[in-house]
Structure 1
């Protein structure tokens, strides 16, 4: 029988009494009273006197039965020889012990540890006396059920006794000196040290023991259990199709934290997890159990994990009224985790605040939900994709929430954003390699409007890798320098922290604050940007505006240079692109934005809804020596493209 199964088994009482006590009929009546009350209170019992005749090894059998028992009842009217052994063993196991004795019989010597005493009449005909004994015995059982024999006390005691029994069996297997004994001693000592480190108010164990610990919690019904399961961290690896159901036996609600990208690029992961949540909730439909889904966020000001800065992930366990749990690194194991359970009323209050702040960003999960439904609910809950009418055309003057949630906003606004970034980066790679192969000289690149560094973070690692062999030989690699310019200070700070340009080995990289073209010096082989061209040109650009733009491009590119822009463009010569704009609106609504949010975004971005068509750009580009190539991003009915303007050097095919 496993440890968790033992903790849920029926209570068991061990009874031993003497046939030589005075008034044997009174002893039998007292035993009958006790056995009846034990049955009423949910106890099984083992009557030693009824079984001793079949036992050959009496000492071993007594020990075995006492280890399995929750309560020991000894008749002590006659101080029989075995009484001391039974009482001593019960004390060693910290089992509740009661000695029943006839009125006026002697108490046991003091070295028996002053057990509880219950007296019963020596006269079998003393009905009032036996009624009083029955009442006092029942009261005693009731008190034990709320204290020493509560499910938690039993669970902990059975676990301790089971561990002690196994250690003893191990020791008994080595009657002589052996290295195994030392190894066992070291392990047991380390375990004892872990338990001792926090005293009775803190339990610190290896995270591998979380499952059996939580499984045993099924026997506790003293309050509400809430939890945060951080799926972005691999500590809790039991959230699988084979999830052990005992992990949820008495949790009333659980918040699952996922990476926000699951709502967008990783939708297949979200769909698989939804199936698990459905199965998980269906198995517990017969009791209150709610699931909430939230995106894992950086902690906001005032949000502090209750386990401190060393906490692993945002995992959290809350057990009313004062118990919290979480993970922290295990100093004794590389990549190891410790489960820390702490009883602290003050920390419980702060943990409740932390839990509530995470739950405030969460969406209640319903079994009927699909990935699109969950995304729509999460987008609405967190106001993702809302375009504030105060966000002016000057990016640097926008409020902090534009920048803080930009990576989420943009995925609700721009169809296939991640694909567009990847395709744009791949186009930049090809142009770098083409120019390097044609000229056999190091290439200089310029990114306009690098923003949060999303496109930059795709390109820089690739450049660093192709430069590395040359750098190791102390030669310039294929890419000589990387320059980036962005006008918003918030974006500059964000990108610098994300990319750390000064630490890019083998690449002269600088990310500066400025505008194109006033703050751009020199000429570059590849000039590129994502979602910036419409901003540079503006809505419904005139021929003069386009001529000025491509004139600046020509001035800042080398003789065989290339321009690459991933952006929104008018389609089929229609500068308003009414059909493609409607498709864009439909996409945003399908992806989770409400109609008012869609219209708010479109109204606030006229430079995108009135972007120049490629046909008009091609004409202006050709006037400045650029040939034009176009790649569709996503569906051709949507207005997003990657456009390459390549200088048409005379004599080149």
Structure 2
């Protein structure tokens, strides 16, 4: 903010000109000591032709007005009236014994100085009173916040006045301006002095002005999963972080896994924030945006947009809510409320409890490792038994995050598996020219299902609109865990898929499966169905069931972990898998716990044994590597070969 400015005007006809000059010299010296520039009207009036306009201009730029009132000169009433209109602090200095101004001058502050320039004791007392008055103003009317608000108001008034002055006659523009100004006034009036409600676009200049405020701690939550605060970019304005004590950034949890490049860019941004924008400590915390837990209530109420929050000591909170006047618009709401501030503090602390402190030396893997340790994501609970349906809720609630810590390139594995299913559906449909039926084993959270169903819906749509069966007629899914069934049904709404007979049921393979299917598939389920170190009899039974439930040209597709029995490469692949989990962010003891709790994966059947058992039941085998060939993850396709008559 610019330096303080004082406007001074006095009478040259006062009873003792020497006393006036001495009083002026005292005031100018003290103004300089307190950081003021000053405009002495009497020193400049001779060069001003339009006196009224010049006085107005100078008063608009001033923070403080000092008028000498010993003689009621003609301009005094104009200067005092304009000062009152601008709500500027005003002091009238006058020689001792002179009359006070009439009451309609607004009863300004008075400071008397001696009429005798040689009265050292009197002028010392005047200097002390003037100094004390300046000190009080610095804490109240001339505080940085008061000045900022006053300058903003004056700038707005000035621009409105200039606009009005540009139209000497009736014009539609004047009505438009009046409507806008009235709407702005209503927004400001909606909460009185305790609440500020403006369009969210004004957040940046509003927050930037806080650089001049040092009255307490500023904390904030920036919800990067919501696009309201679009200024979190590499060219982020520096002043936005100038005096924040700490800030929590909420990100989508996928940034730790599939969006590492995006996370890396923000890490660089956060590092630059801490390096450039604070002379004192500026702490950054990172957390994943979560659904609010019981007891966590955003202080702006259920209508709050995102989890954005601003906390300014001792009693100010801020956030966003929808703007009823704009589609997808946002309003910034700043409220002074002691009770809500206490609630907001609790909300902030609750979010912070699951956040990790950002350090400038961190890279993506360091931040992910800290987040995993803080939240327990990726931790294998030894109470999670092999029977999935009996595992505790935190296994299911965080499954999509857990699995990315355990399975290398999980998203790629799912995408590649879905693409393989697509190709087999199209192959069978093209060869047989009939609708295809598909079966998914162990659909779990629906991650693979959600890739495949939209694709089926799209290829079926033209046929559905013509009231014909599309390339895919039935989609059946089976999973043994009730929690998974409820979750995936809620997400995909199988009964609402147009043009597709889709059912997701609870059950086990193969006891609860009826009929025959053209494509049977699953991700991370085959090792569970077969078990660790399967015998030849177990494998034979699996493929016998598979043959029974697939059509004569049907296909099995499994994305999973596969071992190599009796081969050094098998042990090496498992070790590489273990190394990957540690490198990806899990602690060694966490990895050991996972490996010990999943022997059906660490002792999974090798492709060579599966191929042999599959061929005995009429399947030929194709293998696709997922991720790196040194890791034990593959997509294996078992395709039935038509018997030649």
* Pair 1:474-2:467 in alignment: yes
Q: Distance in 1 between matches of 2:289 and 2:209?
A: 29
Aligned residue number for residue 356 of structure 1: 349
Aligned residue number for residue 294 of structure 2: 301
Structure 1 gaps, min length 5: 1-7
Deviation of 1:343 (Å) = 1.0
Aligned residue number for residue 624 of structure 2: 631
* Pair 1:529-2:525 in alignment: no
* Pair 1:496-2:489 in alignment: yes
* Pair 1:161-2:158 in alignment: no
- Alignment deviations for residues 582-641 of structure 1 (CA, whole Å, 9 cap, x no partner): 111111111111110010000000111111111111122122221111111111111111
* Pair 1:138-2:131 in alignment: yes
**More displaced, 347-356 or 177-186?**
347-356
- Alignment deviations for residues 364-416 of structure 1 (CA, whole Å, 9 cap, x no partner): 22222221222112112212211000000111111111111111110110011
**More displaced, 213-222 or 322-331?**
322-331
- Alignment deviations for residues 409-466 of structure 1 (CA, whole Å, 9 cap, x no partner): 1011001111100000001001111111111111111111111110011001100100
Structure 2 gaps, min length 5: none
Matches within 5 A, 1:320-469: 320-469=313-462
2:184 counterpart (166, 176, 191): 191
Q: Distance in 1 between matches of 2:633 and 2:604?
A: 11
Deviation of 1:281 (Å) = 2.0
- Alignment deviations for residues 4-36 of structure 1 (CA, whole Å, 9 cap, x no partner): xxxx11111111111112222222222122112
Q: Is the 8 A contact 2:378 2:405 kept in 1?
A: yes
Q: Distance in 2 between matches of 1:260 and 1:536?
A: 30
TM-score (norm 1): 0.97
- Cα-Cα RMSD: 1.5
**574 and 612 in structure 1: CA distance in 2 versus 1, 3 angstrom threshold:** farther
Q: Distance in 2 between matches of 1:65 and 1:502?
A: 73
1:46 counterpart (25, 39, 49): 39
Aligned residue number for residue 592 of structure 2: 599
Matched pairs, number: 645
Q: Distance in 1 between matches of 2:514 and 2:98?
A: 107
Q: Distance in 2 between matches of 1:285 and 1:250?
A: 7
2:502 counterpart (487, 504, 509): 509
Aligned residue number for residue 534 of structure 2: 541
- Alignment deviations for residues 260-317 of structure 1 (CA, whole Å, 9 cap, x no partner): 1111111111122222222222213632112222222222222222212222222111
Q: Is the 8 A contact 2:565 2:606 kept in 1?
A: yes
Q: Is the 8 A contact 2:565 2:605 kept in 1?
A: no
Q: Distance in 1 between matches of 2:351 and 2:569?
A: 43
Aligned residue number for residue 23 of structure 1: 16
* Pair 1:14-2:21 in alignment: no
Aligned residue number for residue 5 of structure 1: none
Aligned residue number for residue 305 of structure 2: 312
Aligned residue number for residue 487 of structure 1: 480
**Where in structure 1 do 4 or more consecutive aligned residues deviate above 3 Å?**
572-576
Matches within 5 A, 1:12-91: 12-91=5-84
**More displaced, 454-463 or 543-552?**
543-552
Aligned residue number for residue 206 of structure 2: 213
Deviation of 1:573 (Å) = 6.0
Aligned residue number for residue 171 of structure 1: 164
Deviation of 1:358 (Å) = 1.8
1:610 counterpart (600, 603, 606): 603
Q: Distance in 1 between matches of 2:502 and 2:81?
A: 77
Q: Is the 8 A contact 2:437 2:472 kept in 1?
A: yes
Aligned residue number for residue 554 of structure 2: 561
2:633 counterpart (640, 647, 653): 640
Q: Is the 8 A contact 1:575 1:613 kept in 2?
A: no
Q: Distance in 2 between matches of 1:514 and 1:596?
A: 34
Q: Is the 8 A contact 2:619 2:641 kept in 1?
A: yes
Q: Distance in 2 between matches of 1:48 and 1:545?
A: 102
Deviation of 1:334 (Å) = 1.6
Q: Distance in 1 between matches of 2:564 and 2:368?
A: 30
